[in-house]
Chain A
């Protein structure tokens, strides 16, 4: 007769056995952090199947913003919860300074020759570019031409701004400061000018809420990256991207191996897959709209550049200078903008 114990034992054995084929079949696994939202979706639907197909490696994604990745790995002290970081320039510098990355071996990237020069360094690899400029609703506002326009009529009363907590927010505020006589390390003019028009500004929002605020017409113009504009457009929002006359801002998203990572070899295969032509071709298309780094990927006409080399003319920033100042800027933004 079966009793409860033997039934449970049988069920456990059956359950365990069902896991065996997959355990025996999977060649390996890599755990990678990815940004929540569009990145997570793109990596789940495009990169994970490609990695499985080419290298027979399972990709386990952990959706985390760049700052959260740094915080988690710092807190884990040598036992990182994932093998690969994906970071913007600011957190990348924080990671390097904090000793959170393993040294990077460019020889392990088979697609290295297809990337423009300087895309791989001793700490990691560039996997995508982001271009920041102005997003506006053409049905409600005339086309702006410069960063200065944002703070003047008719745009200012429909303007939505964010602070220094994101990369795109920080670089945009630096560019506004530069338009009024400031520099990469002096954003004071931006504060002075923003303070003058603060009562007119339509929204001072959390970066995560900006897409919703644009969709709901709370604001009709903001600084943002081209990918966000493409995603909103694909959802039927009236929005266009404008490259300011002083130039759009470009920065690269990089990937790194976490110090103490368990699946280092698989992480290299993951990076190689991410920068491959096949993955780039898929990610450049809607609804993903990524800007690739592989020269062989054909760029769609919706992007503001015809080839990747053109990006060298875009405005770039030195984050090793920006990072030490950012805490004070955030604090000042809080105080100046507070009601």
Chain B
């Protein structure tokens, strides 16, 4: 029997992707070039409407900033946790992995509503702070960007930690000893040895957290409320409330392009850091 070429083996998956991902994406692009919500009159009207409105740029900027803030917060909390994992005993590592993966086992809806209980006016945080006498009036945490970033940081944390831990676990422990033997302090070892070598995991984590937090419609609307407007809310309103599918397609493509741009920039940074480590 004739041996199958590699491209032939990949054909079923390629065809499946073409039909269930590429075709709808092309349809989405096609629909965006109609002027009316009945999808009868071709034109650039919806693009002109979206791109001609300064409010659209504010929403794009806010959405990207939300993703970047969540990425920064997950790095700040996740990286030290990954370092603790690296030095922990195998038994503690198992416990840590369980704690890290646990949020993934819960529905995002449950996690999001749990944050209402935590951040609410009469929620856990405000009750504790008031009982301790730290504050006299409840803090406004729900429906603020701060509250949203706090909750997204917890919700997205596994996406940062899992690739990070996977890469850091493969680091040669002798490198740290060699760095110390050559006189480097612990901080210098961290910044000149561990961080550059863990960069592929860090970049992968950043990509996942950014893509997931900018598109987290449920968390954004339930915890952030509707005064914080991000692109997913606009897509939902236009597609399911107003039924203006061409405009919803325009916003969807904008979200896709915006996220892909930042993701590409992060990938480029990752590749550069890889060159730095090995070059």
Contacts and interface: CB of A to CB of B under 8 A. Distances in A.
Interface size class of B (residues with CB under 8 A): 20 to 34
B195 to A, nearest CB: 35
A335 B120 contact: no
Contacts of B142: 203, 213, 218
16 contacts: A65-B240, A67-B241, A71-B243, A164-B241, A206-B221, A209-B222, A212-B222, A217-B121, A218-B116, A218-B120, A218-B142, A326-B242, A330-B241, A335-B55, A338-B58, A339-B228
B229 interface: yes
Nearest to A216: B120
Contacts of B227: 204, 337-339
Interface in B110-125: 113, 116-117, 120-123
A119 B113 CA distance: 38
Interface string B103-140: 00000000001001100111100000000000000000
A68 B240 CA distance: 6
Contacts of B240: 65, 67-68, 71
Given A71-B243, A218-B142, A327-B242, A162 B226 contact: yes
Top 3 A-B pairs ranked by shortest CB distance?
A216-B120, A217-B122, A327-B242
B225 interface: yes
Contacts of A68: 240
Nearest to B233: A334
B221 A209 contact: yes
B143 interface: yes
Contacts of B228: 338-339
Given A204-B225, A216-B117, A334-B55, 4 more contacts: A71-B240, A212-B113, A218-B121, A218-B142
A338 B116 contact: no
Given A213-B120, A216-B123, A330 B225 contact: no
Interface centre among B123, B225, B239, B244 (most CB of A within 10 A): B225
B264 interface: no
Contacts of A65: 240
Interface in B186-231: 221-222, 225-229
Interface string B226-265: 1111000010010111111000000000000000000000
B143 A216 contact: no
A334 B142 CA distance: 18
B139 to A, nearest CB: 12
Interface of A: 65, 67-68, 70-71, 74, 94, 162-165, 202-206, 208-209, 212-213, 216-218, 326-327, 330, 333-335, 337-339
B244 A205 contact: no
A266 to B, nearest CB: 28
A74 to B, nearest CB: 7
A71 B237 CA distance: 12
A138 B221 CA distance: 28
A40 B123 CA distance: 30
Interface in B138-169: 142-143, 145
A298 B178 CA distance: 84
A164 B242 CA distance: 10
B93 to A, nearest CB: 36
B120 A205 contact: no
Contacts of A338: 55, 58, 227-229
B237 A165 contact: yes
Contacts of B117: 216
Contacts of A162: 226
Nearest to A329: B242
Nearest to A220: B121
Interface in B72-121: 113, 116-117, 120-121
A205 B123 contact: no
Nearest to A68: B240
Nearest to A67: B240
Contacts of B145: 339
B243 A205 contact: no
Given A70-B243, A204-B143, A330-B242, A212 B116 contact: yes
A70 B221 CA distance: 22
Contacts of A334: 55, 226, 229, 234, 237
A65 to B, nearest CB: 8
A163 B123 contact: no
B243 A208 contact: no
A209 B143 CA distance: 11
A164 B243 CA distance: 14
Nearest to B142: A218
Nearest to B217: A206
B251 to A, nearest CB: 12
A326 B241 CA distance: 9
A204 B144 CA distance: 11
B116 A216 contact: yes
A213 B224 CA distance: 12
A183 B142 CA distance: 33
A33 to B, nearest CB: 14
A333 B227 CA distance: 9
B226 A204 contact: yes
Contacts of A217: 120-122
Given A209-B116, A216-B117, A326-B242, A203 B143 contact: yes
B226 A163 contact: yes
A322 to B, nearest CB: 13
B121 A208 contact: no
Nearest to A327: B242
